[in-house]
Amino acid sequence: MPKFAHLPLIVCLVFGFVSDARAQVVVGEPAPPLQFEAFRTKQQVDLRRLHGNVVIVHFFHGLDASTRREMPRLLEVRNRYARHGVVMLGVSLDNNQAAVVGFADTFDANWSIFYAMRGRLDDYRVAWDVHFGPRVVVVGADGLVTFNGDIARLEDAVVKALGEAGVQGFETMTAEGLAAELAVITKLFDDRKFGDALRRLTAIPASAVDDGSPSAPVYAELVERARQFGSTAFAEADALLEAGDALAALGHLQRIANELADTGFDQQARDRIEELRRDPAVRKALAAAERRDGATKALEMARMLEDRGNVDAAIARYRSIVRLFADLPEAETAKQALERLGAKTDRGPADPSLKKAERLYRLAESYRAAGKAETARAKYEEVIENYPDTFWAKQARKALQELE
């Protein structure tokens, strides 16, 4: 998705334990004040100046095992949405600077971090009612708290906040945007454009659909339609397998993988394909099919060479088909072509008359190029009369038709 410089930012605050009985951070209510000079950078940070941006705030203990364990996930979310204006702030709950330094160095912190000894920090502990870390709170573009929970649910909260802030690409996170998108997906299903329908449906985060909302039953119905479609698609592959046609089943699964890319069904299809390919009987059938395909392509190439007048190369290719695919129908076709060209099946020389036919045909071509059409016509007819079953007679007949 494109970057929107003037759209909301995300600021991540990981909080300590919040008592439900005296919580100051309430979803739907304004976020408490937060103003500080950033550790190391000395940058002045004020949450009030971030109104118009989506914000999340990080209270943490630098040496705490759970804080460090959850940081990769927190950074993953922050980095994933950076192009949409993601900013992360941290507020240390530590009593010694060494813990903060170690934390910042470990995670290459390039976001603003607040560190203070007792006193001012205690004011924020009370205002935000945070005493233990880690914990996250998301503040919306309007300055209201939109989420107060743990990092495991952070991404859904961030995405929802972006949608509510009107960031392009996250419109389905609003009630109106979700309803419009579900209407589009319904029509795509009705029009049997299943790939597009499934891709758009799977792009909607489950957190966008609130239980009890008008869109909830529509979304549930579409999910069921997707499930039934997937069941039917894979049932067709199962039917082909039961009929003993593993190759057709593989082809069907490959079409699912190609046509339903980025829907989840494509990965299921690829997994089934890999499973089938490990079956010895299927591997044998695949090898036979690949061999037949190779023979067909070799025959097509030989015919193309013959049609282009490269007879020697065509003869060599026909001979290789006879040698490599002796048990396939293509070998018999290649033998017939060699007989037509006056060539032996093995590597022996071609019939000398074939060379004479070629020389006579080339002579006719030179007369034609010189504008001597009658002389050329006579030579073409001579090729046809003396060497009727050769490639050059076939070319001569074409030339005569063009001269008429």
**Average pLDDT in the chain:** 83
Q: What's the pLDDT band for 74 if we cut at 50, 70, 90?
A: very high
Contact predicate 113/61, CB 8 Å? no
Q: What's the pLDDT band for 102 if we cut at 50, 70, 90?
A: very high
Please give the Cα distance from 229 to 265 (Å, whole number): 10
Q: What's the pLDDT band for 10 if we cut at 50, 70, 90?
A: very low
- Reduced 3-state DSSP string for 171-204: HHHCHHHHHHHHHHHHHHHHCCCHHHHHHHHHCC
Report the range of poorest mean pLDDT among 22-26, 165-169, 190-194, 369-373: 22-26
Name the token pair of 206: 């489950």
Q: What's the pLDDT band for 46 if we cut at 50, 70, 90?
A: very high
Q: What's the pLDDT band for 9 if we cut at 50, 70, 90?
A: very low
* Residue 275 one-letter amino acid: E
91, exposed or middle or buried, with CB in 10 Å at 0-12, 13-18, 19+?
Answer: buried
Q: Is the peptide bond before 134 cis (omega within 30 degrees of 0)?
A: yes
Q: Tell me: the pLDDT tens digits for 341-360?
A: 777 666 555 567 777 888 88
Q: Is 113 helix (H, G, I), strand (E, B) or coil?
A: strand
Paired sense of beta strands 59-60 and 89-92, if any:
parallel
Angle at 178 between CA 175 and CA 180, to 5 degrees: 110
Across the range 236-250, mean pLDDT stands at: 88
Please give the Cα distance from 180 to 215 (Å, whole number): 10
Report the range of poorest mean pLDDT among 13-22, 30-39, 83-92, 212-221: 13-22
Q: What's the pLDDT band for 11 if we cut at 50, 70, 90?
A: very low
- Residue 69: the pLDDT is 92
- Residue 301: the pLDDT is 92
- Residue 187: the pLDDT is 94
Contact predicate 362/342, CB 8 Å? no
Q: Tell me: the pLDDT tens digits for 133-162?
A: 788 889 988 899 988 888 888 888 888 888
Please give the Cα distance from 349 to 251 (Å, whole number): 43
Q: Is 95 helix (H, G, I), strand (E, B) or coil?
A: coil
Please give the Cα distance from 125 to 131 (Å, whole number): 6
- Residue 351: the pLDDT is 61
17, exposed or middle or buried, with CB in 10 Å at 0-12, 13-18, 19+?
Answer: exposed
Paired sense of beta strands 35-37 and 55-57, if any:
unpaired
Cβ atoms within 10 A of the Cβ of 45, count?
Answer: 19
Q: What's the pLDDT band for 19 if we cut at 50, 70, 90?
A: very low
Please give the Cα distance from 87 to 110 (Å, whole number): 10
